[in-house]
Structure 1
Amino acid sequence: MPKEWLETINGYTASGRLQNHCSARSGLSHFAALFQTLIFLLLTGSIAHAAQKQYAVEFDAPPAIVQLLQRHLEIAQSLDNPRLNDAEWQRLIRATPREIRALVATEGYFSASVESSTDNQTDRSSVKFSVNPGEQATINEIELNFSGEILQQPTGDRPGIDQLKAEWGLIENKPFTQEAWGQEKRKLLSELVVYRYPNARIVQSRAEVDSKTNSVRLMVHVDSGNQRRFGDLVVSGLQRYPE
C-alpha cells in the first residue's frame, strides 16, 4: 500500500477522532447549560410561589380578648415573617389553642374553650380561632403573712403590718388578673425595702384556683428580714479646712 495513502488514511482517522471528541465536548457543554437553566427556573419558580403564598389568622372572641391574642400569640407575630411556610404554619395552628388558654388564664379566665377552622388554598391559607373565655374568676380569700423583725416593730412605725394589709390593692369578690396580682406583690415588697427592711423577700406566693366555684384564693408570705438603720455620722478631712 502506498505510503501517501496510508498517511491519508491515518490523517482521516485522526481527524475523525478529533472531530468526534470536539462534538462530544460540545454536546456535554450544551447539556450542562440546559441543566443549569432548568435548576434556575425551578428555584426561581419555587421562590416566587413561596413569596405569593399568603397567611391569615382571625379571632372570634370578645374585643379585649382579641387584643390580648393579637398582641401576644406567636401565630399573629409570625404573619410578618417572610420565611413563613406551610410546615411552620401547621405547627403554629396546632400550638395556638394551648397558647390561647394560657393567655386568657392570665386575665382570670380558667375555663376557656377554643375551636379552630382552616381554609387552605394554593396561594392562601387562613385559620379562624373561636374563643369562649367563660366567666372571669373572682378573688374569694386573701391571706397576707409576715415574719422577721417586723413582728417586733414598735406600733406606729412605718411600715406596719396593719398598714400594709390596709394598702393591699386586691379586694375579695373582685376579678382576678395576673397583672394586678404581680403588681400588688411588688408594691408590698417595695414598701418594706424602702423604709426599713432592705433584705425583705417573698418566701411564698400562691394563687389557688377553684374551678368549681370559679374563684381564686391568694396567699403571700413575706419575710422582712432585719431592720437596717443609719449608724453614727463620721466626717473626716475637716482638718484641711477652718471650722
Structure 2
Amino acid sequence: MRWIVPWTAVLLCAPVCAQDSSLHYKIQLEAPGEVSDVLQYLNLFQWQKKNRLTPELLAREVSGLPAAATELLATAGYFAPTIESELRQEQNTPVVYLRVTPGPQTLVKHTSVDLQGVINHDPEKLARVNERLGRRGQNLENQPFSQSSWDEYKKRSLQILQNRDFPAASLLSSEASIDPVTAEASYQLVLDSGPAYVFGPYTIHGLSRYPEFLIHDRVKIPAGTPYSRSELLELQTELQNLPQFATALVDVELSGEEPYTAPIRIDVQEVPLHRVNGSVGYSTNTLLKSELAYRYLNLFNRGWVADSRIRLEQREQAFEQSVTLPQSRSDWEHRVWLSYLHQDLQGLDSQLYKTGVSRLKKGDEIERTFDLQYQIENRRFNDGSEERPQTLTLNHIWTQRKLDNRRNPRNGYLAQLEIGGASAYLLSDATFLRLYGRGAYYHRIGQDGQVILQGALGETFTKSPEGITSDWLFRAGGSGSVRGYDYQSLGVKSNGSVIGGQVLATASVEYQHPIVKNWKAALFVDHGGAGEAWHNLETVTGVGVGGRWNSPVGQIGFDLAYGVDLQQIRFHFAMGLVF
C-alpha cells in the first residue's frame, strides 16, 4: 500500500461557541517525548488553557482524538500510530487519558528533481543547478520525514533556480510518496526554469531631498549581466546602510516576452535633512553626563554628512565636529574631523586637541580603518608641573565581529588589532610604535548559561614616554576593564598623578545565567593592570556579581565588584558590548 501526498495537514478546528458554563479538565498523556511535543498542538491541549469547552464539547473532542492525533502525527512522519483515548470522571474533575504508540518514523530515502525548460539548452548552467539540487536532496536523505521539511525542500529547490538566471522559474508538480509498510518516503519535483533573464536598466523612485549620485555610486550591476538575486540583496543592504535613507527596496520587473530583461526598480524612503539628539545619564566612570548631537545629511548638496557633538560629564567634557563623505565605488568611506577632550582623572588634568582624516571600509564581518591624526595635549599634574606633547600619527585598526547576534550574542567572538606610531622628525616630540589588541569570546553552556572571556594586550615601544600624548599610552581600571578599581586608576604614578604606561594586560572571565525574563545574573573575575614595563608591571584582581538587562537598545550591566588588592568595593554600570 502506498500513499501519494501532496497535502498540508490542518489542525482540527471545532466550532468555538461562547458558553456560560466552562469546565476545567486534566490530561494524562502517555507518549514518547518527541511525539508528546507534537501532540501539544491538538485542540484538546490548546483549549485547556482557555477553558472554552463544555462537558458535551469535551466528550465530542475526546471521541475524535484518535483521528485528530493520527492526522497530526502524520505531519511528523508517523503514519501507523496506535492511539487510545478515554474520558473519566475522577473526584468531580474530568480526566482525559491519551495513550499513543507512534510506530516507526518514516525516513526520506530518495529525492529527485526533473528540470524542464530552456535550462536544458545550457549544459553549464544545467550542471551547476543539478549539483546544488543534488546536495540539498542528499542532506534530507535518511532524515525523518516531516511536513515542514517537505515544504522547505520544495521552496528551497525552486529558489535555487530563481536566485540566479531564472527568476520566473515555477514548480510544475510535487509529490511525496509515503510507503507505510517500509516507513520510507520519496520526494519528486518537476521544475520549469522559464527563460534566462539578464538585468536591464535601473530606475530610482522616492528621491526628493538628496542627489541621485548617492544611489548611482552604489549600483554596480551593468545592464545585460545575468540575473542574480544576491546582487539585488547586496545593493539593497548598501542603500539601507546609507544614513540618508530610512528604507530601501530593490526588485525587478520581469518582461514576459523576448528579449527577457529584468529592469531594476529602486524605491527609497528618505529621512529628514536635520536630526538633533539629546541625552542625560550616569556613568560610574565619569559620573553624571549629558550629550547633545546635531547631524546634517546633505552638506554642499553632495550627500556629505556633517556631525556636531558636545558631551558634558563631571570628569570629562568633549566636543567633536566631523564631515563624512559617502562611500566611493571602491567601498571606502572618508572622514575629516577635529575634536577637544578635557579629562580630570586620578590627579591628571588633560586637555587634548585632535584633528585628522580617516579612511574606513566595512564588510559583513571585517572593518578596516586607516587614520592620520595630529594631537596636542596640555597635561597638568597634581604637583603643579605641566607638559605639552604633540604627535602626528598614522594608525591602522582591523576589527572582526563574528557573532550569532550582534545585540545579544550567545556564541561568537570580537577581535580588534591596532598598529600605529609617530616619528620625531614629523611634527612629533617622540618616536614610538604602538601595538594593541583586544577581544571577547562568547560561548553558550547548556540551555541557558553563558561564559564570556575578554582580554586586552598592548605595548608602546619607545625610548621614553615623555613627549607622547595620553591617547598612545595605557591606563586601566573601571567598567570594561578591571572592575573593583576606579576608572583609569591603574597606571604609572608620577608627580602625584596616575599617567599612562607603556604596557597593558587585562583579562576577564564572566559567567551569566538567566533569572527572570530579559534579566541575567553574572559572576566575574577580572585581572590585569598597566605600567611602565613588563618586568615591573603590577597587576590586580577584582571579583564580583552583577545583573544584565537585555533592553530594547542593547545590554545594560550593573556590577558590584570587590578590588582584592586594595580591599575596596566599587559599583560599575555599563551599556552595550565591549566594542
* TM-score, length of structure 1 as denominator length: 0.68
Partners of 1:139 and 1:90 lie apart in 2 by 37
Flag the 1:148–1:99 CA change in 2: closer, same or farther, 3 A: same
Q: In the TM superposition, what is the alpha-carbon distance from 1:221 to its structure 2 partner?
A: 0.8
Q: 2:35 aligns with which of 42, 65, 82?
A: 65
Partner of 2:87: 118
Partners of 2:90 and 2:135 lie apart in 1 by 59
1:79 and 2:48 are equivalent in the alignment: yes
Partners of 1:83 and 1:212 lie apart in 2 by 39
Flag the 1:64–1:97 CA change in 2: closer, same or farther, 3 A: same
Partners of 2:137 and 2:183 lie apart in 1 by 22
Partners of 1:234 and 1:94 lie apart in 2 by 61
1:214 and 2:183 are equivalent in the alignment: yes
Secondary structure of 1:89's match?
helix
Flag the 1:212–1:167 CA change in 2: closer, same or farther, 3 A: closer
Secondary structure of 2:38's match?
helix
Q: 2:169 aligns with which of 197, 200, 209?
A: 200
* Counterpart contact for 1:210–1:216, Cα < 8 Å: yes
Partner of 1:181: 150
Partners of 2:51 and 2:83 lie apart in 1 by 28
Secondary structure of 1:120's match?
strand
Partner of 2:239: none
Deviations 1:180-211 (A, max 9, x none): 22212211111211212121111111111112
Pairs within 5 Å for 1:50-61 = 50=21, 53-61=23-31
* Counterpart contact for 2:39–2:72, Cα < 8 Å: yes
Partners of 2:151 and 2:198 lie apart in 1 by 29
Structural RMSD (CA) = 2.8
Q: In the TM superposition, what is the alpha-carbon distance from 1:95 to its structure 2 partner?
A: 1.9
Q: In the TM superposition, what is the alpha-carbon distance from 1:232 to its structure 2 partner?
A: 5.8
* Counterpart contact for 2:175–2:188, Cα < 8 Å: yes
Q: In the TM superposition, what is the alpha-carbon distance from 1:86 to its structure 2 partner?
A: 0.6
* More strand as a share of residues: 2
Secondary structure of 2:124's match?
coil
Partners of 1:197 and 1:152 lie apart in 2 by 13
Partners of 2:126 and 2:74 lie apart in 1 by 39
* Counterpart contact for 2:172–2:191, Cα < 8 Å: yes
Partners of 1:85 and 1:121 lie apart in 2 by 17
* More helix as a share of residues: 1
Partners of 1:145 and 1:96 lie apart in 2 by 40
Partners of 2:126 and 2:188 lie apart in 1 by 25
Larger of the two Rg values belongs to structure = 1
Higher relative contact order (Cα pairs below 8 Å, separated by 6+ residues): 1
* Counterpart contact for 1:169–1:184, Cα < 8 Å: no
* Counterpart AA for 1:80: K
Q: 1:103 aligns with which of 49, 66, 72?
A: 72
Q: In the TM superposition, what is the alpha-carbon distance from 1:160 to its structure 2 partner?
A: 2.3
Flag the 1:119–1:198 CA change in 2: closer, same or farther, 3 A: same
Q: In the TM superposition, what is the alpha-carbon distance from 1:234 to its structure 2 partner?
A: 9.2
* TM-score, length of structure 2 as denominator length: 0.30
Q: In the TM superposition, what is the alpha-carbon distance from 1:159 to its structure 2 partner?
A: 5.1
Deviations 1:107-135 (A, max 9, x none): 11111110112212573111111000001
* Counterpart AA for 1:181: W
Partner of 1:140: 109
1:191 and 2:160 are equivalent in the alignment: yes
Secondary structure of 1:87's match?
helix
Paired residue total: 188
Partner of 1:5: none
Q: 2:197 aligns with which of 215, 221, 228?
A: 228
Q: Among the aligned pairs, what percent are the same residue?
A: 26
Deviations 1:24-61 (A, max 9, x none): xxxxxxxxxxxxxxxxxxxxxxx6xx46x421222100
Deviations 1:136-188 (A, max 9, x none): 11222222111012212241589522332233354433322222222122111
Of 106-115 and 205-214, more deviation after overlay is shown by 205-214
* Counterpart contact for 1:110–1:211, Cα < 8 Å: yes
Partners of 1:217 and 1:74 lie apart in 2 by 30
Flag the 1:234–1:74 CA change in 2: closer, same or farther, 3 A: closer
Partners of 2:145 and 2:126 lie apart in 1 by 32
* Counterpart contact for 1:209–1:215, Cα < 8 Å: yes
Partners of 1:201 and 1:105 lie apart in 2 by 27
Flag the 1:206–1:74 CA change in 2: closer, same or farther, 3 A: same
* Counterpart contact for 1:153–1:160, Cα < 8 Å: no
1:94 and 2:94 are equivalent in the alignment: no
Where in structure 1 are there 5+ consecutive unaligned residues? Answer: 1-46, 239-243
Where in structure 2 are there 5+ consecutive unaligned residues? Answer: 1-19, 205-211, 214-579
